Amino acid sequence: MSDTMLAVVLDAWGTSPVLREVPVPQPAAGGVLLRVTAAGMCHSDLHVADAPPGRLPFEPPFVLGHEVAGTVVEVGVEVDPAWIGRPVVVHGVWGCGECRRCRQGRENYCLERGPRIGNGLGHDGGLAEFMAVPSPRHLVPADGLDPVVAAPLTDAALTAFHALKPHVETLDDASRVLVVGAGGLGHFAVQLVAATAATVVVVDPKPEARELAATLGADVVHPGLDDVARSLHRAADRFDLVLDFVGATPTMLGSLELLALGGHVVVVGGAGGELTVGKNLGLPQGWSVSAPFWGPRDDLQAVVDLARAGSLHAHTETFALPDALTAYARLRAGDIRGRAVVVPGDPRD
The residues binding Zn ion (CB under 5 A) are 42, 44, 95-96, 99, 102, 110, 112, 155
Among 92, 95, 136, 184, binds ligand NAD (CB under 6 A): 184
Residue 341 binds which entry of Zn ion, ligand NAD, none, CB below 5-8 Å type-dependent? none
Beta strand spans in 181-323 (E): 199-203, 220-222, 239-244, 259-267, 288-290, 316-320
d(CA 43, CA 31): 28
Residue 84 binds which entry of Zn ion, ligand NAD, none, CB below 5-8 Å type-dependent? none
Among 34, 35, 38, 43, binds ligand NAD (CB under 6 A): 43
Question: How far does Cα 245 stand from its chain's mean position?
Answer: 10
Going by C-alpha positions, the residue among 305, 345, 328, 17 that lies closest to residue 184 is 328
Residue 136 binds which entry of Zn ion, ligand NAD, none, CB below 5-8 Å type-dependent? none
Going by C-alpha positions, the residue among 346, 333, 300 that lies closest to residue 158 is 300
Angle between helices 207-215 and 184-194 (to 10 degrees): 30
How many residues touch ligand NAD under the rule CB under 6 A: the total is: 30
206 is an interface residue for ligand NAD by CB under 6 A: yes
Minimal distance in Å, beta carbon 245 to ligand NAD?
Answer: 5
245 is an interface residue for ligand NAD by CB under 6 A: yes
Instruction: Kindly identify the residues of this chain, within the stretch 95-154, that bind ligand NAD according to CB under 6 A.
Output: none
Q: Based on CB atoms, which residue is closest to ligand NAD, 183 or 263?
A: 183
Minimal distance in Å, beta carbon 92 to ligand NAD?
Answer: 10
d(CA 184, CA 156): 6
Question: Residues 93, 96, 101, 103: is their CA dihedral positive or negative?
Answer: positive
Q: Based on CB atoms, which residue is closest to Zn ion, 114 or 345?
A: 114
Q: Are 105 and 297 in contact (CB under 8 A)?
A: yes
Residues that bind ligand NAD (CB under 6 A): 42-44, 47, 155, 159, 180-186, 203-206, 209, 245-247, 251, 268-271, 293-294, 331, 334
